[in-house]
Amino acid sequence: MSRKYFGTDGIRGRVGVHPITPQFVMNLGYAAGKVLAKVEHTQNDRPGVLIGKDTRISGYMLESALEAGLIAAGIDVYLAGPIPTPAVAYLTRALRLQAGVVISASHNPFEDNGIKFFSGSGEKLPDAVETAIEVALDEPMQTNPSEGLGRAKRIDDAVGRYIEFCKSTFPANMNLRGMKIVVDSAHGATYHIARHVFHELGAEVIAIGAEPNGLNINDGYGATKPLNLQKAVVEHKADVGIALDGDGDRLIMVDGAGKLYDGDQLLYVIAKHRQAEGNMKGGVVGTLMTNLAFEHVMQHLGIPFARAKVGDRYVMELLQQKNWQLGGENSGHIICLDKHSTGDGIVSSLQVLHALRMKQQTLAQAAGDLHMYPQILINVKTAKKEDFANHPKVKNAVDAAEIMLDGKGRVLLRPSGTEPLLRVMVEGEDGVKVKLCAEKIAEAVRGVAG
């Protein structure tokens, strides 16, 4: 069945507009609680659910609504306060709870918020469970009798537990002494965590984007707005810069000269290091948007490579199908399944730093063998969602582009999942040809889309 609320990354929208309202979120908590309560337990205790959130001002309101719904359904609630999304995944697993819930809209502005769930194993809920929750949402809310209500408890050491977990993913016989690192937390969920992880491993840390006020998350800082990080790295003569997004699961890095490195480049550094160390299990999963140069360099290294649909959820699914450990997106979601059950910006940055320390290289040196191909993305507005990619005029434009690229490039047409747009992406070795091809295809799409 098609789902009304759950997308590829939970439920997300503008605060105060359905479904991101207190009433709906309370009903969602109740519905999720009823679904979780049907799960068999080895003990006769109530199911437990952890709630974490980022730093948006609306998090207080939605946390209270979610807590009320879960308790009304007979679920014990564990409140962790502001912590990153991957911290919720870790703590849910560590505390042996039935689920974890994150209140966050990731890299979106503060006016948005969202809800996403993790299973007891620290992975995103299976589609079947999310569908069951949607079915339960259509049923009337009937509060449990008083003796059947859940209880709430605050986890006072959630931050400290997660800091220690992150540090445990870095070799115990290695440190970061002598390194100067600028860490940008996007005024988000890692503001009181990221700096301590790197500092406790020995680095000199300059923290920016670490003063949240409820309204400034992702505003001019973080993985999607790295200009301030680039300036700070150069100003402080730092070795490297690390930018996380609002909920801490996305990573972008900067070298000492202020040059940006995206998820493809960082994934390459990790993969190349693991292969050199003999620790590469299987291959690497990218997405339809992974740069073609990455695919070519994986072939050169003899590392298997596969593409998933765009979205870290699909990267995870393909990793599990192939029993591989490493994957990611160019947006900065990197998954290291031997370290964590989900993408984690801090943990991923530590894997990059491990490679740099082991080889005694700078980030520029470690990523220097990957020469990214020029990539042009044009969003073409369409009057309605339609299969324009198979229209004869568009197909002719694509065929002409592929002839021009001569096997040294790639064309991808991808409809937006949320709005009437067709995304035209062209990449290849020759930037002039790439730009010309993208413009020609976009022109053809506009011609048939009106």
Q: 205 - beta bridge partners?
A: 181
Q: Determine the residue type at 348.
A: S
**Of 225, 258, 291, at which residue does a domain stop?**
258
28 and 145: one domain?
A: yes
**Of 258, 277, 302, at which residue does a domain stop?**
258
Give pLDDT, residue 44.
58
Average pLDDT over residues 21-48: 85
278 and 350: one domain?
A: yes
Give pLDDT, residue 418.
63
Average pLDDT over residues 392-414: 94
Of 58, 104, 106, 349, which residue is the catalytic one?
A: 106
201 and 118: one domain?
A: no
- Indicate whether 299 pLDDT > 60: yes
How many alpha carbons fall within 13 Å on the CB side of residue 428? 23
Give pLDDT, residue 9.
81
Q: Is residue 101 part of a domain?
A: yes
User: What band does 40 get if pLDDT is binned at 50, 70 and 90?
Assistant: very low
Give pLDDT, residue 306.
98
For residue 42, CA distances in Å to 45, 71, 91, 343, 433 come to: 9, 21, 20, 30, 62
- What is this structure's pTM? 0.94
* CATH for 403: 3.30.310.50
Q: State the residue range of the domain holding 22.
A: 11-156
Q: What is the pLDDT of residues 312-326, one digit of tens each?
A: 989 999 999 999 999
310 and 349: one domain?
A: yes
- Indicate whether 43 pLDDT > 60: no
197 and 316: one domain?
A: no
Give pLDDT, residue 127.
83
Give pLDDT, residue 382.
85
Structural domains in the chain (count): 4
HEC string of the chain equals: CCCCCCECCEEEEECCCCCCCHHHHHHHHHHHHHHHHCCCCCCCCCCEEEEEECCCCHHHHHHHHHHHHHHHCCCEEEEEEECCHHHHHHHHHHCCCCEEEEECCCCCCCCEEEEEEEECCCCECCHHHHHHHHHHHCCCCCCCCHHHCCCEEECCCHHHHHHHHHHHCCCCCCCCCCCEEEEECCCCCCCCCHHHHHHHCCCEEEEECCCCCCCCCCCCCCCCCCHHHHHHHHHCCCCEEEEECCCCCCEEEEECCCCEECHHHHHHHHHHHHHHHCCCCCCEEEECCCCHHHHHHHHHHCCCEEEECCCHHHHHHHHHHHCCCEEECCCCCEEECCCCCCCCHHHHHHHHHHHHHHHCCCHHHHCCCCCCCCEEEEEEECCCCCCHHHCHHHHHHHHHHHHHHCCCEEEEEEECCCCCEEEEEEEECCHHHHHHHHHHHHHHHHHHHC
Give pLDDT, residue 339.
97
120 and 178: one domain?
A: no
Q: Is residue 6 part of a domain?
A: no
Give pLDDT, residue 42.
41
445 and 388: one domain?
A: yes
Give pLDDT, residue 2.
65
Q: Tokens standing for 96?
A: 């042996």
**Of 107, 123, 156, at which residue does a domain stop?**
156
Q: Is residue 4 part of a domain?
A: no
Q: Is residue 2 part of a domain?
A: no
Q: Is residue 236 part of a domain?
A: yes
Q: Is residue 5 part of a domain?
A: no
173 and 221: one domain?
A: yes
Q: Is residue 355 part of a domain?
A: yes
Average pLDDT over residues 351-366: 97
Give pLDDT, residue 46.
87
Mutual angle of helices 58-72 and 22-37, in 10-degree steps:
40
309 and 408: one domain?
A: no
348 and 418: one domain?
A: no
> Is 106 among the residues known to form the active site?
yes
Nearest to 311 by CA among 336, 285, 283: 285
Q: Is residue 3 part of a domain?
A: no
* CATH for 19: 3.40.120.10
Which of 16-25, 122-131, 200-209, 294-303 bottoms out in mean pLDDT, i.e. has the lowest?
122-131
- Indicate whether 412 pLDDT > 90: yes
Mean pLDDT of the chain: 94
292 and 213: one domain?
A: no
Which of 107-121, 122-136, 399-413 bottoms out in mean pLDDT, i.e. has the lowest?
122-136
Nearest to 198 by CA among 170, 224, 236: 170
168 and 125: one domain?
A: no
